[in-house]
């Protein structure tokens, strides 16, 4: 909500020259700020040379967390790829449409521990591979495209058309832009004096970013509602028909989409939800 309010200010012409906004908390006493936001205060003083108890600080919305990711079996941590286990921010399951408070780092600690154990159990009897085999990565062809510049351009387009506030028109426009990039990359691959490895890595990176951006467009277009951090200006209400998980899988080079109902909460979680009391004082958990 705060990020959307920032977006509105910027888009209605009240942002700064950089397309940011001013955040001002100087109406609160210094004592309050030092008690409630000690790290914010010291960090902004150190890096921006601004004392937030006296002056406003220039800020911009940014991506804080990805609330979607790789499907895995929550009992075994297995994905659809054999012996490929996941945990942490790259996964789906834990947070739904909105991650609240500081529970991401807690998640990584809990789930990584379980995954580590699962890996130990799975590979207990497999001897480590000590061979000195060198993996040879075949070079990609040379061309005229500036890979780093292209990555920056793609990021800017996604930021422009699929960020905090989305519309069908803008998402379709981005879909078109991304497919044009695919063609461009295929035609004019990289001008660079990099070694083979870096060249191939950049190639993969650009394609991963494109895949990722296309998936964002695809599911954001399908989800004709607003839920959690996904906000559609043309569908601003939550719609219970979309209370489900979308799954996208690449089959024969094409994205195939399905969806699954969200599983009912366990009895422990339901108990937590039923007895949960809204805190009367939301503060940043530093
Ligand atoms: C600005 C900001 C503030 C945040 N504040 C909080 C907070 O206050 N509390 C909280 O709980 N959470 C917070 N989060 C979220 C939290 O930091 C992340 O969700 C968490 O660190 C994710 O951990 P991870 O291990 O899943 O992924 P990451 O920390 O992203 O680790 C992934 C690692 O994989 C490496 N990697 C990537 N590709 C490859 C590859 N091909 N080969 C080998 N290695 C690779 C990366 O270099 C990286 O080291 C914040 C996030 C941001 C951006």
Whether residue 160 sits in one domain with residue 55: no
Asked whether residue 43 is domain-assigned, the answer is yes
Q: Which of 59, 87, 104 is the last residue of a domain?
A: 59
Phi, psi angle pair for 262, to nearest 5°: -75, 125
pLDDT per residue over 64-114, tens digit each? 888 888 999 888 889 988 889 999 999 988 888 888 777 888 889 989 999
* Span 11-39, average pLDDT: 92
Asked whether residue 54 is domain-assigned, the answer is yes
Asked whether residue 201 is domain-assigned, the answer is yes
* Span 122-131, average pLDDT: 74
Cα(138) to ligand 1 centroid in Å equals 30
In this structure, how many other beta carbons lie within 10 angstroms of the beta carbon of residue 52?
A: 21
Which whole-number Å values give the CA distances from 31 to 47, 74, 78, in the listed order?
21, 45, 49
In terms of residue numbers, what domain contains 211? 147-261
H helices of 128-248, in order, are: 147-161, 168-187, 196-222
Cα(89) to ligand 1 centroid in Å equals 7
What percent of the chain lies above the pLDDT cut of 70?
A: 88
Instruction: Tokens for 282, please give them.
Output: 């939301």
The answer to whether residues 233 and 166 touch, using CB atoms and an 8 Å cutoff, is yes
What CATH number has the domain bearing residue 37? Answer: 3.90.700.10
Ligand 1 mutation pick, 61, 89, 208, 285, max ligand atoms within 8 A of CB: 89
Alpha carbon nearest to ligand 1 atom 3, residue: 64
Whether residue 154 sits in one domain with residue 55: no
* More reliable by pLDDT, 82 or 29: 29
Asked whether residue 202 is domain-assigned, the answer is yes
Cα(276) to ligand 1 centroid in Å equals 29
User: Which of 163, 165, 159 lies closest to 236, judged by CA?
Assistant: 165
Q: What's the total number of domains in the chain?
A: 2
Rounded Cα distance between 255 and 215, Å, is: 9
* More reliable by pLDDT, 92 or 194: 92
Asked whether residue 46 is domain-assigned, the answer is yes
Flag whether pLDDT at 233 surpasses 50.
Answer: yes
Asked whether residue 76 is domain-assigned, the answer is no
| Site residues for ligand 1, CB cut-off 6 Å | 64-65, 88-90, 102-105, 108
pLDDT per residue over 132-150, tens digit each? 666 665 555 566 777 888 8
Asked whether residue 134 is domain-assigned, the answer is no
Alpha carbon nearest to ligand 1 atom 8, residue: 102
Cα(69) to ligand 1 centroid in Å equals 13
* Environment class of 221 (CB within 10 Å of its CB; exposed 0-12, middle 13-18, buried 19+): middle
Rounded Cα distance between 174 and 169, Å, is: 9
For residue 258, the cross-strand partners are 247
Asked whether residue 118 is domain-assigned, the answer is no
The answer to whether residues 203 and 189 touch, using CB atoms and an 8 Å cutoff, is yes
* More reliable by pLDDT, 37 or 255: 37
pLDDT at 133: 67
Flag whether pLDDT at 284 surpasses 90.
Answer: no
- Tokens 């209400």 identify what position? 237
Cα(131) to ligand 1 centroid in Å equals 31
pLDDT at 67: 87
What CATH number has the domain bearing residue 218? Answer: 1.20.58.100
pLDDT at 286: 43
For residue 94, the cross-strand partners are none
* pTM given for the model: 0.80
């Amino acid at each position: 909500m705060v990020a959307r309010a920032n977006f509105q200010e910027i888009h209605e012409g009240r942002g700064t020259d950089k397309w940011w906004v001013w955040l001002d908390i100087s109406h609160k006493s210094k004592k309050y700020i030092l008690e409630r936001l000690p790290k914010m205060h010291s960090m902004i003083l150190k890096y921006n040379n601004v004392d937030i108890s006296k002056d406003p600080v220039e800020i911009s919305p940014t991506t804080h967390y990805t609330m979607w990711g790789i499907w895995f079996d929550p009992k075994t941590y297995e994905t659809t790829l054999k012996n490929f286990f996941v945990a942490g921010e790259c996964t789906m399951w834990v947070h739904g449409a909105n991650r609240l408070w500081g529970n991401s780092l807690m998640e990584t600690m809990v789930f990584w521990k379980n995954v580590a154990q699962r890996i130990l159990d799975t590979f207990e009897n497999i001897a480590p591979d000590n061979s000195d085999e060198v993996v040879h990565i075949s070079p990609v062809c040379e061309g005229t495209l500036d890979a780093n510049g292209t990555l920056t351009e793609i990021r800017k387009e996604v930021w422009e058309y699929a960020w905090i506030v989305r519309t069908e028109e803008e998402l379709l426009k981005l879909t078109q832009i991304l497919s044009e990039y695919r063609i461009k990359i295929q035609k004019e691959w990289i001008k660079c004096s990099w070694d083979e490895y870096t060249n191939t890595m950049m190639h993969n990176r650009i394609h991963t970013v494109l895949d990722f951006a296309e998936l964002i467009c695809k599911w954001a277009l399908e989800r004709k509602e607003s839920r959690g951090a996904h906000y559609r200006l043309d569908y601003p209400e939550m719609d219970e028909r979309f209370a489900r998980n979308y799954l996208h899988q690449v089959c024969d080079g094409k994205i195939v989409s399905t969806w699954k109902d969200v599983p009912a909460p366990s009895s422990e979680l339901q108990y937590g939800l039923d007895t949960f009391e809204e805190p009367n004082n939301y503060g940043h958990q530093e």
